[in-house]
Amino acid sequence: MKCPFCGYEESKVVDSRPTDEGERIRRRRECISCAKRFTTYEVIESIPLIVVKKDKSREQFDRNKLLGGMLRACEKRPVSIATLEAAIDDIELKLQNSLDREITTTYIGELAMDKLKAIDEVAYVRFASVYRQFKDINTFMAELAKLLNEK
């Protein structure tokens, strides 16, 4: 860290403490050259995730849209909001940890279906029927057969 007084590029950290409910870290530093002290703040840099839709348009990732789709799939099913929130947290963490900043809706949909399959099979089939755009009963039955074969 460059000293604001003398411009020397090395300093040592004298004190560190979290601020703003843990959102930032306040660091008290001392310049190795001139021995003057100064304060720096460290914050997490958040780079937004961009979702590439099927029509090639792009928009910022919105976890509420994903939650809405998963809630519709779980309608009248014994699935708590907390369970869905935890699943979406896992999906979002996986997306944030990937090196790609642009993620396709196909990838997000597959992650959501994997989570729903583990949570509730009926919700999984509902979500898959909309997501995969089943054209007729045969494609729907093929998905059900695949689900039964996995058991």
pLDDT digits (tens, 9 = 90+) for 32-73: 999 999 999 988 777 789 999 989 999 999 999 999 999 999
User: Domain boundaries in the chain?
Assistant: 11-43, 50-150
Q: What is the pLDDT of residue 12?
A: 94
pTM confidence score: 0.64
Q: What is the pLDDT of residue 131?
A: 74
Q: Are 60 and 49 in contact (CB under 8 A)?
A: yes
pLDDT digits (tens, 9 = 90+) for 86-140: 999 999 989 988 888 899 998 999 999 999 989 998 898 888 877 776 666 777 6
